[in-house]
Structure 1
């Protein structure tokens, strides 16, 4: 299938028609560059100059679609025009072809044409003066520079400005794209963080409410029901307080209250006591020095979620929370009895394990959870190692 040549833009068609019309007007009034009968005119008469004029106008149609071809044909037409009486319209259109060849041509053409035309202008200035020894001979180089070097240099300047503007536009688009990507990542990370905080702050209280409400409904003993209702009320109040704090954060300044303190490892004792109040046989074995705040928060939330999972899924038996500070980081291990329960005491979504794994990963730590066999039978073991050396050095810097 034959490829159709590209059609010239309307502007180029207008330029060609305007140049041709201007040349015809000058021809009609007999205005040529050289008088008839002069020694420089090889083809005397008014009609021969129409041929290079028409060819030059046709080359204007190629100024953007094929600029080098148009310039080459235009150079031949200009040489033919020099053998006739000549037309100023032909020369003006040639300067436009030189300008367009630099502006719309290849980068190699844009680099070479100003140098070539500059050298030709210098040669056209020096050589005739050296041969003729007349000051008027210098005008040949001036005319050569005006017809070739000046439009080529102008085209190069315009092209450089155009390329710089295009580069700035592309950089602006890339910057906007990167900013949008950063915004999306920041929103995604913030949503994940809020989801972890919401789950960790509220799930423990709601799980206790669900378990004790089930006990209150299923047992007929009045004392047991009252104890269960007391636990339900306590967890309801604490859960509502946590929800209000979270809503205050999300309102972006609508809450004028002081922000809630970030949980620390010093609160593990109260956390374990709360787990005992909810019915777990929990104990704490912790020995650690001071650790960075991000590690404290992550460790507190991991222990909190582990106790919540034990409350919902663990079989009857002791629950042990063990923490130690080693050279490689803060080690956490939470064990609970595993097996012997067909259904959980409260429904779960699996988001707790995901949240704990994410918290460890954000600190470049490790996390694993699963059943293991031990001296006390089958246990569900949660292990996490949170490095503290790199974080502590980062905070000091």
Structure 2
């Protein structure tokens, strides 16, 4: 649960701007079409961290690594809260995103602390922390920004990050690496993963999955703040509750993965993801349909994400940090693409344009799953009957 909390707070540093984009843009004078860069900056930093910092988890004591990254993230949040203009804010958020990859270090640590028979369940719980952080941040940010302004959101996260760093150092077990490896060897191993069809197919699915996810959550505040709703930032943030319901409902996906049904769960989740856009696309006239669509979308994202990670950590138990870090590179690219394109699509064609974009991303993930399903199914069968 501590590792899940680390994931929740760390990932919130990247996504907490989503429900306050309108307020933040007005304060700093940012055009509507450029608002997506505020979220994208953190995700681009995250992308660099996935490739360069997460592999350190296969070399160093992950308890100390997590502690250090949490403290550096707190510094980044303080800098963001004090930023007087957009360029400095983007630099602060990119730097925070770089060390926010502590999320993947925590996930890999949890996987290694679990027995093989319970790895899927453990990943389900810890990964739920990621989804809780992404969506819970919307609720927290909406309320805090409505009461005291958007800078208070970043100050609050800085305090939470410092508190967590102390708890991690005191409560988590030491993580002694069993063998001495060089950073170059670990990075080379990461590069070799891109030759593995399983890794590439799961990565491409993650790319489309989180591009669709980012399309919704980086753009939804815009139609809700416009006619006919004119919702406040606090009211917009409450839509995160619907997302939490969907994400928590998908904790079961980890148990399905332990039962060797991860590939089937991923396919079903992608179908639900595509279908959810039929409901969320109606934000211009029905908030009830939006709530239904949000629940379904977040359930689907969580189910597919947990299934993917379960398959990959089972296939590469000797390098869990590297394989999760490499997989999440696709996630970061997809999230960044969704964040920047949804605001552009909204500026050009309204929320209907954003909804079509999200559905297209979901369709890309489903096509990738369909093309690779037979080879992945054979690997699952081999794991079941060694």
TM-score by length of 2: 0.25
Query: Which one has the bigger helix percentage?
Result: 2
> Which protein, 1 or 2, shows the higher relative CO under an 8 Å CA cutoff with sep ≥ 6?
2
Name the larger-Rg structure. Answer: 1
TM-score by length of 1: 0.25
Query: Which one has the bigger strand percentage?
Result: 1
